[in-house]
Chain A
Amino acid sequence: MSEIFDQKHRSAPVGLRCTVNGAPVECEVSPRTSLADFLRQDLGLTGTHQGCEHGVCGACLVLLGGEPVNSCLMLAAQAHGRDIRTIEDFSEPDGDLHEIQQALVRNHGLQCGFCTPGFVIRIAALIDENPAPTRQQVSDALAGNICRCTGYQGIVQAVLDLTANPPE
């Protein structure tokens, strides 16, 4: 294992071309850089949060080609040629909140807000795939996101509030 600290082994940078929130990005990244770190540190898009850094908490979700992905579980180098959308694309600075964000506010679906960007991304992808989820489907869909403040009921209610939920 000591060989992994071999200084001669340099992790040669690799080229990365992708689109982030509609804008083309072209640069070099270290293969060690996660997509989450790349977005936050190289692009300054700090709305993507990192909780667990191993795919359990969902705070770092972004949309990759329209699908929700954990940006901590993806290397920036793997995003080559892909289209990424982060929480920053959901509302303008000082502009109106996105309807998902408004629904979370209305339903007490957030308190400290650390997990909220991940939930907004997850909810956007859920509504895209299933415009009329049941309460159970919402709970299952949100199982990959952890919130330590709300107890989830407000978040689930916000999704049901936004969607034409069928009677159970």
Chain B
Amino acid sequence: MKIPPVDFHRPADVNGAVDLLARLDEAKVIAGGQSLVPMLRMRLLAPRHLVDLGSAKDEVGLTVDEHGLHVGFGVTLAQLQRSSEAGAVCPLLSQTLPFVAHRSIRSRGTVAGNIAHADPTSELPAVLSLLGGSVVAAGPEGERRIEASAFFQGYYETSLEPDEVVTSVVFPEVSRSAGTAFQEVARRHGDFALCGAAALVDGDRALLALIGVDVGPRTFELDASSAAALESEIEATIATLHPEADLHASAGYRRHLAAVLSKRVLDAADEVRAR
């Protein structure tokens, strides 16, 4: 089905986009459009205006500073995957990106759009939450930084205001002493995950993030001082989860996957760390 009637705007820069969002009724930002276009086609959304960020000239690309890796709003998932700098600062991104949709979707889908879309089974929100990253948003009052923990609010819901645009996503640098890993189970490689897990192990500290088990990414800090301690913490953590059932997986199967994947990623992260 064609997308609903809509007017298409090409702002020259982010400020132009913010201005349009503030001025127009029922306007929606389009970046890569890899989630938005299907939603428009299925009539899940029917905005009156699309504000295209593809034409914004102030795209900054990928930069690294003391806060970590800054991913500008126009950077696609494929560009991030290709970047050796991104992989060096944050190996968890290189480990996770092959699981984010199919190659052809990654050609167009942007990192900022993926984060702003906040799909509950989306991989990068889990990575951003696990690493304690943040989102930089521009609005009529200027820019503000939103911590990942305050950004993701629920199913496709974030703390972004209707007239704000994500200008960059900041992934903190991962300590050289830490090991990370990501794994997921999907019907076929590249499809929406039934369940996925990311882990970071650094000394006695282990961080775990799960997707597909709640309304958004869930993160946990676990005691990794001994294998026995870690195992019992995983068990206790999984017991607190109440995933939804759907056509593709029952709640029980999702909880089972969460347990299996948690163990696998924590083991894999520990192996990476030991190397």
Contacts and interface: CB of A to CB of B under 8 A. Distances in A.
A73 B8 contact: no
A78 B105 CA distance: 15
Interface string A65-98: 0011110111101101000000000000000000
B84 to A, nearest CB: 14
Given A4-B46, A125-B103, A53 B33 contact: no
Contacts of B7: 9, 11-12, 31
Contacts, number: 113
Interface in B93-120: 98, 101-105, 107-108
Best-surrounded residue of A12, A72, A125, A144 (most CB of chain B within 10 A): A144
B68 interface: no
Given A9-B48, A75-B8, A144-B102, A32 B3 contact: yes
A51 B104 CA distance: 15
B55 interface: yes
A168 interface: no
A61 B2 CA distance: 18
Interface stretch (B37-45, B130-138, B171-179, B226-234): B37-45
Contacts of B107: 64, 67-69
B190 A144 contact: yes
B33 A69 contact: no
Contact of B3 (A61, A70, A75): A75
Contact of A69 (B5, B8, B43, B104): B104
B183 to A, nearest CB: 14
Contacts of A69: 104, 107-108
A122 B104 contact: yes
A54 interface: yes
A11 B6 contact: yes
B50 interface: yes
A54 B98 CA distance: 20
A14 B216 CA distance: 37
B52 A78 contact: yes
Given A4-B4, A11-B6, A68-B104, A54 B38 contact: yes
B108 A74 contact: yes
Interface string B15-49: 00000000000000010011001100111001010
7 contacts: A55-B104, A70-B105, A70-B108, A80-B10, A80-B55, A126-B103, A143-B189
Interface of A: 1, 3-6, 9-12, 14, 31-34, 37, 53-55, 58, 61, 64, 67-70, 72-75, 77-78, 80, 122, 125-126, 139-141, 143-144
